[in-house]
Amino acid sequence: MVKVALDAGHGMNTPGKRTPDGEREWSFNSKVVTAATKYLNEYDNVTVIRLDDPTGKTDISLTKRTNKANSESADILISYHHNANTGQWGTWTGTETYHYPGSSSGYALASKIHPAIVGAMVLRDRGIKSENFHMLRESKMPAILIEGGFMDSTIDIVKLRDSNVLDRAGRALADALAAHFGLKKKSKSKVESTSGVHVVKKGDTLWGISQKYNTTVAVLKSLNKISGDLIVPGQKLKLPSNSKKAATKPSLKVNAKVKVKKSAKKYATGENIPNWVKGKKYTIQQIKADRVLLKEIMSWVYKKDVE
């Protein structure tokens, strides 16, 4: 199992880490890391260790971040940032990646990842550099720090404000890591729902997830040690061992084939449904709010009574 430590630099309220208009660097960093986590989940045999606070409320100390990566034996560490020059708007631009001075493994990792990020951001390639940063120095595994673009650049800010671009950077990071480690894509069914785990997507709520897996919000909170209602994209939630994904309702459209349930009792017009009609397939000829007209028997049946 490959362990990838991902770090969205700083926190939401870290002093000074803002665009000239007040936008938070962490919010840009987190969008890329969250997307990378989502896309890495499409691969087998990889797990993500997130080092920052995924809510952004706390700026976790650098020491705690590297200690976590080291104690959990991460195979690599990637700290994702966005740059600043003077703090005032200017036309400087570009993407650059750092490794620790003299680290051949750090340079090798940067050489695999940096071109992918440059390709996703479509900004000037400022190259691969070395620097004595804490995240690179104190980590026991190959580590790199990426500066995706300049927050105080009138050129780069256009990309940073585009969620599609940051999502693309996250995908590029995930795919480059997969190529680096030789990871294979999961089957479609595994991606949709890893056994016993739900990966939170944008728009998910605890209530919606509980309904999807026929469980309760209280059970999800207890199992995952959640005190409030906040969940974030990319977060992995454990599911109760007996949970099953709720059955998907049939697609009801004209000319589709449906079967009348054996439990069906009355037509939508009020008459009893004879037993010989039940359990057989029919063609939908018309659709109304709560009923469908079945062509072969020319009768209206409630939608809830077909499958």
Catalytic residues: 147
Residue 37's closest CA among 200, 195, 163, 190? 200
Angle at 147 between CA 153 and CA 126, to 5 degrees: 75
Q: Is 209 left (phi over 0), alpha (psi -120 to 50) or beta?
A: alpha
**Residues contacting 298, CB < 8 A, separation 6+:** 285
Whether 160 and 93 have beta carbons less than 8 Å apart is answered as no
